[in-house]
Amino acid sequence: MGSISLEHVNKSFGDVQVIPDISLDIKDGEFVVFVGPSGCGKSTLLRLIAGLEDTSSGTILLDGVDMTDAPPARRGLAMVFQSYALYPHMSVRDNIAFPLKMAKLPKEVIDQKVDYAARTLNLSSYLDRRPRALSGGQRQRVAIGRAIVREPKAFLFDEPLSNLDAALRVNMRLEITELHQQLKTTMIYVTHDQVEAMTMADRIVVLNAGNVEQFGSPLDLYKKPANRFVAGFIGSPRMNFVDGAEAAKYDAHSIGVRPEHFVLTRIPAPGSWEGVVSVAEQLGSDTFLHVQVGEFGLMTIRTDGEETFSHGDDVYLTPDATRIYRFDADGKAL
């Protein structure tokens, strides 16, 4: 069991209000990702749930029990830190066994659980090494191992992949997702990387300046962003926004079109915008074109990698009329 409820949680550091008022319901077994730009309060929110920070006001319920003022150890949650926070003077085995040792379990039970966790995470042959002698990905797995042996109500991940190189990050992303399917334990995962959020989450919480901008499934956020912030944050490359007269045509204060929702032609088409290619980023499968579109400024367009464009080419962009997002003056989606 591991449902987590936040009710009107507020956190201030001195005069600085980091989280004004957040209410969230995370269901048992869900994989929820907190995503947002740096300084949006996502890590603070995770630490509030973990009990590493005191809540200024509001209530945190774990499985319906008020745990707002409970110390971290009593909450039954496990956390994986950004730096892994392995204990450098202990072997991998002792690192994984540490929470069990603190829980005063008998030695045989500890050994059994450590061996099981090590097998699950492919760490069996490293058990007697020190963390120093491990690679980044292995350290990451040890940190996860230390979390899973406790059989916690929920796992908390604080940007666990940000210290890994790109290829390893993709691997670990898959491993964590698989682990979730295997364990079916609630997981909360904090990241600033919207790709991680989209690929791993059952539901995503988009945070901005300590407020929940939207809470929903990845595709919900992609297809029906609640506001301009979410629309700009979710999706890669980010959505193009156009204000002013062009937006007024659609009866909105501003409109947004995703890079993948354009038709690109070399000759003018009805309703198309004229632009000049400034940079073409060729990825092989796709090409991202940065196009200077008159008064709208720089726009990013995604095309397939078949046709090549170069600097200075004239192109015409036709937005897919059914996939234009409209926003009012406050940035709310219409």
Partner 1 sequence: MATQQTNTLARVMMAPAVIVLLIWMIVPLVMTIWFSFQNYSLINPMMTGFAGWANYIYVIGDPSFTQALVNTLLLVGGVLIITVIGGTFIALLLDQPIWGQGILRILVISPFFVMPPVAALIWKNGFLHPGYGMFGHLFKMLGLQPVDWFAQYPLFSIIVIVAWQWLPFATLILLTALQSLSEEQREAAEMDGANAINRFWYIIMPHMARAITIVILIQTIFLLGIFAEIRVTTGGGPGYASTNIAFLVFRTGILSNDIGAGSAGGVVAVIIANIVAFFLMRAVGKNLDA
Judged by the rule CB under 8 A, the positions of this chain that interact with partner 1 are 50, 52, 71-73, 77-79, 81-83, 85-90, 98-99, 102-103, 146, 150
- Per DSSP, which regions of 117-185 are E strands? 154-158
Return all residues near 284 (Cβ < 8 A) that are at least 6 apart: 305
Smallest separation (angstroms) from partner 1 to the CB of 79: 5
Residue number, 87 or 116, with CB nearest to partner 1: 87
Give the dihedral sign, CA 61/66/70/76.
negative
Smallest separation (angstroms) from partner 1 to the CB of 98: 5
Residue number, 155 or 215, with CB nearest to partner 1: 155
> Whole-angstrom Cα distance, residue 163 to residue 117?
23
Smallest separation (angstroms) from partner 1 to the CB of 164: 17
> Strands of 286-293's sheet, edge to edge?
262-265, 314-319, 273-282, 286-293, 297-304
Residue number, 96 or 221, with CB nearest to partner 1: 96
Smallest separation (angstroms) from partner 1 to the CB of 60: 15
Residue number, 114 or 231, with CB nearest to partner 1: 114
Return all residues near 219 (Cβ < 8 A) that are at least 6 apart: none
Asked if residue 293 lies in contact with residue 222, where contact means CB atoms within 8 angstroms, the answer is no
Smallest separation (angstroms) from partner 1 to the CB of 262: 44
Backbone angles phi, psi at 193, to 5 degrees: -95, 110
Q: Which amino acid is at 139?
A: R
Residue number, 106 or 312, with CB nearest to partner 1: 106
Residues paired with residue 10 on neighbouring β-strands, in sequence order: 57
Residue number, 121 or 206, with CB nearest to partner 1: 121
Asked if residue 97 lies in contact with residue 45, where contact means CB atoms within 8 angstroms, the answer is no
Residue number, 161 or 255, with CB nearest to partner 1: 161
Asked if residue 62 lies in contact with residue 76, where contact means CB atoms within 8 angstroms, the answer is yes
Residue number, 73 or 248, with CB nearest to partner 1: 73
Smallest separation (angstroms) from partner 1 to the CB of 111: 17
Residue number, 99 or 218, with CB nearest to partner 1: 99
Smallest separation (angstroms) from partner 1 to the CB of 159: 12
CA 72 and chain centroid, separation: 23
Smallest separation (angstroms) from partner 1 to the CB of 85: 4
Smallest separation (angstroms) from partner 1 to the CB of 142: 12
Backbone angles phi, psi at 333, to 5 degrees: -70, 140
CA atoms within 13 A on the CB side of 232: 17
Three-state DSSP at 165 gives coil
CA atoms within 13 A on the CB side of 86: 30
Q: How many CB atoms lie within 10 A of CB 6?
A: 22
Residue 71, CA distances (Å) to 6, 47, 59 in order: 17, 12, 14
